[in-house]
Amino acid sequence: MYKTVRIPDIGKEKLEVIEILVKIGDFVKNDQNLLIVEGEKTSIEIPSKETGKIKKIFIKIGDLVKTNSKIFLLKKKEIKKEKKINKNNILKIDKRNDIPYKDYEIYASPMIRRLARKNSISLSKIKGTGNKGRISKEDFFAYLEKKDNNYNKNNLNNIFKKNFCFEKFGKIKKISLNKIQKVISKNLLKSWLTIPHVTQFDEINITKLEKFRKNVNLDILNNKNNSIKITLLPFVVKAIANALKNFPNFNSSYSEESNTLFLKKYINIGIVINCDRGIFIPVIKDVFNKSIFEISIEISYFSEKVRSNSLKKEDMEGGNFTISNLGGYGGGYFTPIINFPEVAILGISKYINKNVFINKKSFNIITLPISLSYDHRVINGVEAVEFINFIKNKLEKFHSFIIK
């Protein structure tokens, strides 16, 4: 027996098909989600009201559908009657699963619905704090954290005790994460789960810049009234400030809830600083209008505040872009995680001395490995390469801007 599956009552508006969750030949159960449609104000998951096999699909992604539109042809599963029927165990064809049909009436973005479906969570259990009860990312993760709290405390501990009994191999020491580490871990997880990361790698020839920097430090050393030492980092900060001025998408934040990109007219850059209590990201404000000397002084100032545990909350607010510098620790390329709600972060590794051949002549150069991670919803690959090339040009062929 064949059954044509149609769009249920979704109102008068035509909605766009943005995702088809099944294919021809799939066996679907009652209340299993078949597709997702989206309008200007909401997205709706369309469930099956029958059990059977998909024989034909009438729609494709991008189609506009309305109430009663044909979407699938289903071959219904025939249910054979058993000779002995247990009245207390009759098969209920209309039994619902964990996800209520009424979920489609709840205001939530497609991303939230996908996360809910992936985690088998009914949106009806989450209290939305947005307009008309709309469920935001914060609402979803707050619910997920609360839901998993007992699991983390009980089940996860039992799993570790049963499967990871480290004590039987020797002595161990248990260390609980401090408050700062817990906050950082939570923010990093949220960033990784919600932002589609892409990382672009490259090298910058800093041979001339390093020679210039060392000469500047010699001049500073001879000047007894100035004790600051210029490192490579302030030059990178200054180059990025210029890049952000020319590539506004990198100087933005994206809200998926409102599908809005917030372009910022100010340029504030965060610097990751490590200490024994964890990592901190103080923010240098108005970087574009500051000199290399001023940036150097602020980095030194914030580093001291981190070491002395005197960094304030306002010191870490207002960042647009972050730099993670591992150059002093060694290692090669790495994939830095974006500092939410920013859209990009630059990782710096230890510079490399290498020989290159140009016109059959050998030259010794110094290169700086960099890793640019960016939000692919906001920035595409071409923009990322152009952004890196701009920074390379500023550092390889630095001009008067670099020391002002």
Catalytic machinery residues: 376
| Paired tokens of 260 | 């809005």
Residue 196's nearest CA partner among 78, 335, 314 is 335
**CA 203 to chain CA centroid, nearest Å:** 24
CA distance linking residue 374 with residue 195, whole number of Å: 9
Q: How far apart are CA 209 and CA 396, in angstroms?
A: 7
CA neighbor of 320 nearest in space, from 341, 306, 291, 301: 341
CB 343 within 8 A of CB 249: yes
Asked if omega into 341 is within 30° of 0 (cis), the reply is yes
